[in-house]
Structure 1
Amino acid sequence: MNHLFPTYNRWNIKVASAKGTKIIDDQGKEYLDFVSGIAVNNLGNRNEKVQQAILEQLDQYWHVSNLYHQEPQQIVAKMLTDYSDGDSVFFCNSGAEANEAAIKLARKFTGKSKIITFKQSFHGRTFATMSATGQEKIHSGFGPLLQEFSYLDYNDSEGLSNEMDDTVAAVLLEVIQGEGGVVPAEAEFLNKVEELCKQYNALFIIDEVQTGIGRTGKPFAYQNFNLSPDIITLAKGLGSGLPIGAMVGKSYLKEAFGPGVHGSTFGGNPISIAAAKATLEIIFQDEFLDEVVEKGEYFKSSLHEALAGVECVQEIRGSGLMLGISCHVDVTAIINSLRDKGLLVLNAGPNVIRMLPPLTVSKEEISQAIELIKIEMAHFEMLNPV
């Protein structure tokens, strides 16, 4: 008997072990992991330096609560602010919690309630972050949502200009919509968002939960543009698989988030902080990030070349090692077939194959994945001619 709620469409894989870019099931079958725990294991499975940091912290203390000063929290917070436009950090346990904190802070600081987000966005599954998410399938069945969220068309500067006024507390967006189809924001649109937020004294919040921690070849994806958001939210890749999230904000926001205003019992847990520190020490290095850019460009250009003759492919998009193949067809059968052949990838909606390999992936492994994708997509087209 299964004693779990059926909240996940689980694949028919029982994981026995995992290391680097590989996952091994209970039958000994090896898979090339281009899911990375959904952009979590940016250093691959069981990175040795991260594992050693976790073990060392286990020998000191596991949990003492945020009533005490914990120097490792200060160290990780400084690393995040040194490599971002932020000045202060609030630690929590997930991306949804980070976005929840950002929503609360925006309303508290501005004294306003309206928050603008975008269609096909994804910001979490708590009531506030579900309400911020611009997807009906996420809302369905839960009754009235949290009020005063507006969902606009992504990359539509004119629509945003028409919606913005003095009642807006914040604009919340992803630089690349992940769950929404690996859809990148346009530079002109992002600049317009920042301009309008300043004009109307609204906060500019960027959700970096999936795009942050080196995924696009920068510490944070917004740094590929000339932007300086008021708040960024993080999770996923921050702890290399241990639960941790963070909200990073500008110094002037501190006045609105004083003692007793917000909190998290497990936020900044010592074990997760140890994992985050080791993770950032590796990823936030210029040489490492340069390699991510190089591998991302190789991945994208090689995909274009390999899939040039595949008629069902509409577009290849994304940045760094966050790429999507947009198709004219439902990609479920292709993803299932790739899994059977030993390559793990995701969907992002019904028509997009989403690929999130570890940032440590080799070019050889990228080439191996592309060859499998090419073969399976050609086979799919043969069986399902356009």
Structure 2
Amino acid sequence: MNGEDQYLAALYQRFPVNLVRGKGTRVWDAAGKEYIDCMGGYGVALVGHCNDRVVAAIKKQADTLITAHMSVYNNMRLKFMEKMSTLTPPGLNKMFFTNSGAESVEGALKFARKYTGKYGIIAMNGAYHGKTFGALSVTYNEKYRKSFMPLLSGVKFVPYSDPNKLEEAIDETTGTVILEPIQGETGIIVPPDDLLPKIREICNKRNLVLVFDEIQSGLGRTGKMWAGQNWNTTPDIMCLAKGIAGGIPMGLIVAKPEIMEATKLGEHSSTFGGSPLACAAGTATLEALTDDKLVENAAKIGTQFKEGLKRLKEKHKIIREVRGLGMMLGVELRFEVKDVLFDGIRNGLLMLYSGRNIIRLLPPLVMDETTISRVVDIMDFVLSSEEKRRNVS
């Protein structure tokens, strides 16, 4: 047992590695062993560990002003919003700062309800939006929900890929539809090409607020700045967090002005939201994405990565399917992934899981061709070892 375990609440799946340093695509443990990081802090290490731009911005801001509540003005906050406004989809230019993905979802649900005056929400089978009460209410997996019932009333779940079922679920109480453009936690599920445009059309026709949870899929992860752009679909509200500030806790809600302005003075707030320190890190992160062309790199290297994984599928019967876009990839196995993940750690590769049998890969967008080739080689080795262990031939 690590010393942390005597203090930390036992709520996390723990991996047998003690990380003490990171740079770019690599992390190191206390013994000095190097790992290629395809876990990426569950998508937080978007622009790489200790990105030079982010580190410099944090150091400079920490010497200047760390905290400034949103009840006062701050130039660094303005700088971040000005930069973000050049990247958001057309029409989404009002912002609210949070500190996490779940907090962004909570705020989005409140803003949508206040705007529509309706409490009904439609979410998707397989959805994951967080574990606070509102976010948990629109999260599908029963293992997260069952101990905390009753949750929010008025929430309905419909099949992710069936817009007809969504339309059938709409009633006079429905005001909001929330979804992930690519479902992450449930296994990197990419929608059919016509799904998001159809849902947008339904929401327009029925006067519903469409919320995209881009917490994991946004900010270049899929090879587009926003995952919804892969299907030319713009929501009414967008939830952001994870890698938005290069590893510093930060979240953001971006919405159409008329939606955000329906919530009045004092009806929602966040004490730490939009701090100068987070905004400095966030601005540097956005500059890394644009000036260092990391979104384009995610598209290019992500294609190479996916092709390498598909070659592994041809070689290894243990692989059922490879899916995803850009640097948001999943490898579905025919068996549980735990032993593969732990063998990866032993061989210098950190990977994630989705459910019991899916490897989830969320590497930093600074990955290069040589590193991805090495990742594929390590995965080839550990999959071969797993097949031998299971007598798969």
In the alignment, structure 1 residue 41 sits paired with structure 2 residue 45: yes
What is the percent sequence identity of the aligned residues?
36
Confirm or deny: 8 A CA contact 1:62 1:271 kept in the other structure: yes
Q: CA deviation at 1:74?
A: 2.1
Q: CA deviation at 1:166?
A: 3.9
In the TM superposition, what are the counterparts of 1:141-180 in structure 2 within 5 Å? 141-180=147-186
2:114 is equivalent to residue 84 of structure 1: no
Stretch deviating more after TM superposition (75-84 or 45-54): 75-84
Query: Aligned AA for 2:168?
Result: N
2:24 maps to 1:20? yes
**Separation in structure 2 between the aligned mates of residue 279 and residue 66 of structure 1, nearest angstrom:** 21
- Match in the other structure for 1:211: 217
Q: Distance in 2 between matches of 1:288 and 1:182?
A: 21
Structure 1 unpaired stretches of 5+ = none
Higher mean C-alpha deviation, range 268-277 or range 75-84: 75-84
Contact 1:99 1:207 in 2 (8 A): yes
**CA distance in 2: counterparts of 1:194 and 1:286, whole angstroms:** 32
| Deviation for aligned residue 1:28 | 1.3
Letter in 2 for 1:303: L
SS at match of 2:148: coil
Out of 200, 213, 216, the position equivalent to 2:206 is 200
- For 1:341 and 1:254, locate their aligned partners in 2 and report how far apart those are by CA, in whole Å: 48
- Report the equivalent of 1:125: 131
Which of 244, 247, 267 does residue 250 from structure 2 map onto? 244
Q: Distance in 2 between matches of 1:258 and 1:119?
A: 33
Q: Which residue of 1 is the match for residue 8 of structure 2?
A: 4
2:390 is aligned to 384
Decide which moves more: 57-66 or 236-245: 57-66
TM (normalized to structure 2)? Answer: 0.95
Q: Which residue of 2 aligns with 1:94?
A: 100
TM-superposition CA deviations, 1:176-232 (whole Å, max 9, x none):
111111111222111111111111111010000001111011111111112121000
Equivalent residue for 1:298, pick from 297, 304, 329: 304
Per the TM alignment, residue 173 of structure 1 is displaced from its structure 2 partner at its CA by 0.4
Helix, strand or coil: the match of 1:297? helix
Structure 1 counterpart of 2:374, from 359, 364, 368? 368
Counterpart code for 2:74? Q
One-letter code of the match for 2:373? Answer: S
Q: Which residue of the partner structure matches residue 59 of structure 1?
A: 63
How far did residue 54 of structure 1 move? 0.6
Counterpart amino acid of residue 331 in structure 1: V
Which whole-Å deviations, capped at 9, do the CAs of 1:86-118 have from their partners, x for residues lacking one?
A: 110000100000000000011100000111111
User: In structure 1, which of residues 258, 276, 279 is the aligned counterpart of residue 285 of structure 2?
Assistant: 279
Q: Is the 8 A contact 1:168 1:200 kept in 2?
A: no
In the TM superposition, what is the alpha-carbon distance from 1:286 to its structure 2 partner? 8.2
SS of the equivalent of 2:207 reads coil
Compared CA separation, residues 145 and 39, structure 1 to 2 (3 A): same
CA offset digits 1:353-381 (Å, max 9, x no partner): 01111100111110101011111112211
Q: Secondary structure at the match of 1:347?
A: strand
Aligned residues of 2:126 and 2:183 also touching (Cα < 8 A): yes
Using the size of structure 1 for normalisation, the TM-score is 0.97
